[in-house]
Amino acid sequence: QSKAWTTFFRSTGHFMEQVELIHCTFIGAQFIRMDGRPATNSAGNSPAYDMIIDHNYINVYDTMEAPEAQLPDKVYSGIYLNLPPLVASGPRKNYSRDIRFTNNSCTGRAPGRGAFFFAVGNCRGITFSENDISCAGADKCIYIRPGEPVASSDPLAQSDVAIRDVKITRNYFRNWRAPITLGGDRN
């Protein structure tokens, strides 16, 4: 329905393995929304594995009618991935892995503190390649923010790295104020 809030693919809490979105056409408010925070009555969450977003036509726009207005506006990014580590009794060790966004044709917009492609949390292996992405305004295109550092069971080997192995290659960006932003929550 025109000018109504729509999300093409949504996953909350427990993620699944082998998510493949291939050869889809989407015109709407939000293409993907994955929020891995565990529910308040849940024992935990599961990381995402092997996510492929390939050869899609994606046109996301801001309807100004987001369904949960109390949430921060970054949640309404065209593609929103919140990937916290697996909550376990002890050190947090599990990353989400192998998220590939390739060969897509995209037109997008981004909310004020978000981006067209917004990933936050703990991830090992994000590939963003061979995409054609345009924007009508001066927004952020790719925004990748680390979450909590992943700790090892060996206290001497703790890591302060939350997101690793990011590959951004061979993309065509048009009209973006900030095509690629890696790191903290700044404009």
Render pLDDT for 3-34 as a digit per residue (tens, 0 to 9): 677 889 988 876 667 889 999 999 988 999 98
8 A C-beta contact, residue 110 and residue 116: yes
The answer to whether residue 50 scores a pLDDT higher than 60 is: yes
Q: Please check the confidence at residue 147 and state whether its pLDDT lies above 70.
A: yes
Distance CA 133, CA 130 (A): 10
Residue with tokens 């036509």: 57
- On the question of pLDDT at 154 being above 80, the answer is no
User: 86-141, pLDDT tens digit by residue?
Assistant: 665 445 456 778 899 999 999 988 877 788 999 988 888 899 999 999 986 667 89
pLDDT at 85: 73
Q: For residues 49 and 56, which has the higher predicted lDDT (pLDDT)?
A: 56
Higher pLDDT, 60 or 161: 60
Residues 6 or more apart whose Cβ sits within 8 Å of residue 26: 8, 56, 57, 58, 59, 60
- Kindly report the pTM of this predicted structure: 0.83
Bridge partners, residue 121, by sequence: 83, 146
